[in-house]
Every structure is written in C-alpha cells, then in structure tokens.
A and B are shown apart, each in its own frame.
Chain A
Amino acid sequence: MREIQAQAITQVVRKLCMQANYHLSPDLKDRILASRAQEPWKPAQEILDRIIENYQIAEKKEVAICQDTGMACVFVELGQEVHIIGDLRQAIDEGVRQGYADGCLRKSVVADPLRRVNTQDNTPAMVYYDMVPGDSFKITVAPKGFGSENMSQLKMLKPSDGVEGVKEFVLKAVEEAGPNPCPPIVVGVGIGGTFDKVAYLAKKALLRPVDQPNPDPFYQEMESELLEKINRLGIGPQGFGGKTTALAVNIETLPTHIAGLPVAVNINCHVTRHQTEVL
C-alpha cells in the first residue's frame, strides 16, 4: 500500500490549473501550425495567424490563453493500492481554488444552476474517478470553456442508424454550432455505453493528443473521414469561411446494449487545454 498526502495533490492541481490555462500542448500547437500551412483561404490564414500569436503571447507572459478559463474538469486515475491521507475531493477543490486565485484565472462557476450566485473561487471542480490496478496516481486537469460546451449534443440513436447515423449526427452538431464554439474546434465523440457514460466518453476523447488516433483501425478511419468531411463544410476559423473548421476528431467507445446506440459530441475550441501529472 502506497500512501499519498492529500496536500501533495492540492499542490499538483494548483500547478496544473495554471499550466493548462497558459500553455497549449505541443500536439495541438503543431496541428494548428500544420492547418495554417494548408489553409488556402486568405481571411482564414489571417485569423489562424492571430490565434498562433495569441497562444505565443500567453505562453511567454504566462497569462490565460482565453478569458474563459473554464470549469476545472479533473480526471483521476487512482491505483487501487494507493491510500490517500486526507480528503481527496477537498484536496482537489483546494488546488483549484489556489490555482485560479494565484494564477489570475477567471472564476466562472455558479453555486446553483438556477439561482446563479458565483462561488468566487471556481470550485467545485468536476471530478471523474477511475480505479485502476497498481499503486500509481495520475491526475489530469482540463479546464473546459462553455462557448464550446454549449454547442455539444447527445442522442440515443437506434442500432439500425449504424455508422452512417453516427457520422450524420456528428456533422449536424458541427454544422449547427457554426461559428459559436470558436472554430477551429476539436471534436470529442463518444459512442456506446449508456446515456451518462457516452457523454463522459466524448469529454474523455478531448484529452487524447490530436496526433494519436484511435488504436482501432475502424475508428481511426472514421476519425479521418469525419475530419475531412467537417473541413469540407466551409465554416472555417471563427466561421468567416475557410478550410480549417476542425483540428481533430477523437472517438472513444464502450460496449453498449442490444437495443441502443448512444452517441455524444463534446465540442472544444482551438484552446483545448489539458495537463497531466503522475504522482
């Protein structure tokens, strides 16, 4: 049994909140640069140049890339041989509280969805726990902006809708979102599981580096086909027209029921942020 102090987790979460909001991951930066190189439309090129300039400024000055520093989505992979000394949930929220205060990040959380009073410290975090074998502790902070979150969709398709039904639904979600989610976007797709799990899959898909396709060749093929089709819609960066509507499509799947075909599309903007640390 390995022991980890809750305070150590607070420190890591604090740091990851700041790092994720200041620095894009190298895979995403590379993809933005590659898309700029392949963008044929002049107005779209200019916007991509500004997007690149923006993340460079944020990186250099260590300031937020985007003012929507998101809800702190925290993914925990907890080895079952690990014993946390202290309250894990509280430790994570304390890390978010400190990271958002010390990092000059925006506090964007309201305590109740209808009465809407700001909690002033960006807590609570949205925490996802996954128990895994072994004694490792892996934690990912993925601040999620809501311009893109609001454009996400979920549908319980029929098994007869099949592959075509799924593709059609993803394309429809991107089309309906249009300029709203700050394209170029990253599209997280969940297929299978249950009503709740499919949404989780779509969100988890956004954590996968954009240069790592799904290991299953069937879904890898679907990812490239969807990306190509999305980039033929013509929405373009910021919706002013152009090729670069999406930077990547990441699909995650789970087994599902004989009667169902759940599908969820979680859209993220060009500021798709996540930072991970293993304790």
Chain B
Amino acid sequence: MAKRLQVPFTPEEARKLKSGESVLLSGIIYTARDAAHKRLVELLSQGKPLPLDLQNATIYYVGPTPPKGDQVIGSAGPTTSYRMDAYSPILIANGETGMIGKGKRGPEVIAAMQQYGAVYFGAIGGAGALLSNCITKAELVAYEDLGAEAIRRLEVKDLPVTVIIDAEGNNLYETGRKKYLTSLATL
C-alpha cells in the first residue's frame, strides 16, 4: 500500500523515506527542466532572489504538453534526470528536499542528498496522460519565454511516485534489479 505524503516536506521527513517505497504526493510542487535549472543556479551564484521558495521544495522535472479542452495541464510525465545533475547539488544546498524525475543520478547529487536530507522520486516515464490526472492546478511562476520549460507551480493530488534514491543513498535501480535477478536464481 502506498504511503501518503504532503509536499513541501522538511529534510527530517525526507530522511524517513526509504528507497523502494511507493508514495502518493499531495500539495505543491514546482516544475523545472534543464534551462530553468540553469537560470536558478545563475541567480543563486549572483546572490539574487529566486522566483520560487526553495525551502523544503520539491521540483518535478517535466515539460508538459499544452492543455487540451478543459484539461488543467497537458500530458506531464518526467524527463530524464541526469541532465539536472550539474545543478541539483546547489539547489539541495539551498533548501530543495525532493526531486521527481526518471533515470540515474550522479554521485555528487547523491552526496548532497545525504548531507542535507533530500530524496529522489521516480514517476513513470512515458505515462504523461495518466500523471496529468493527478495535477489539479497549474500556474506559471517564471520564464514564460521557455515555453514548456517554464517554471510552473502545480497542485497535485495523490501523484504516484516511487522513492528511487533515499537520503541514505540506497538506490532502487541497483537493489530492485538485484532482487529480481536473485529471485530467478532461487526459483
């Protein structure tokens, strides 16, 4: 049974989440991809204010399709996370506690997650139409010029994610595969 979690959450709450757990997220998250991450990190390096409050924030790596008909947002599945690896440690050091994406993360990101208390969730890649149903409100926050890559504030209800890497550095991509292969060997 999936655990329900309210976002934003603190580093202490992040540390309670365990790799492999299914979680339903409800609350406020922000969208940002490559280009928005680059701008946020530039602002931080210049000591300038950010267009969003990073404290305890969860960022969803997504560039949605435009809404169709009465949709709040279009299809909205995760993009591949490693492209954000250059920026994530800086955002984590500045308060980010959750990241939602898909795919592997680099050692620097995992080290920052362990140091500050942050967690990396996976949403199902390629399931954008399904995930879109869990987003109840979407509003533009910054960087409209980036189109699909703009920062948006999303209200989500029971967004299904899986803890891939927890704040202790346990990684489902390694353990899940190993468990499956071991199960075959013991058949």
Contacts and interface: CB of A to CB of B under 8 A. Distances in A.
B173 A67 contact: no
A251 to B, nearest CB: 24
A193 interface: no
Interface in A167-211: 178-182
Given A41-B183, A147-B80, A50 B124 contact: yes
A55 B130 CA distance: 8
B172 interface: yes
Contact of A63 (B79, B132, B162, B184): B132
A106 interface: yes
B66 A104 contact: yes
B124 A54 contact: yes
Contacts of A107: 147-148
Interface stretch (B45-53, B70-78, B86-94): B70-78
A106 B63 contact: yes
User: What secondary structure prevails in chain B residues at the interface with A?
Assistant: mixed
Interface in B126-184: 126-130, 132-133, 146-149, 160, 162, 172-173, 176-181, 183-184
B102 interface: yes
Interface residues of B, number: 45
Contacts of B129: 54-55, 57-58, 61, 63-66
B82 interface: yes
Q: Which of B35, B62, B77, B128 has the most CB of A within 10 A?
A: B128
Contact of B75 (A66, A236, A242): A66
B125 interface: yes
B15 interface: no
B124 A238 contact: yes
Interface in A77-119: 104-108, 116, 118
Contacts of A150: 80
B75 A63 contact: yes
Contact of A69 (B65, B76, B80, B124): B65
B126 A240 contact: no
Given A61-B68, A238-B124, 14 more contacts: A40-B183, A54-B127, A58-B75, A66-B127, A67-B62, A104-B65, A106-B63, A118-B146, A147-B80, A180-B82, A240-B162, A240-B172, A241-B176, A270-B126
Interface of B: 35, 62-68, 71, 74-77, 79-80, 82, 102-104, 122, 124-130, 132-133, 146-149, 160, 162, 172-173, 176-181, 183-184
Interface of A: 40-41, 43-44, 47, 50-51, 53-55, 57-58, 61-69, 104-108, 116, 118, 120, 147, 150, 178-182, 234-236, 238-243, 269-271
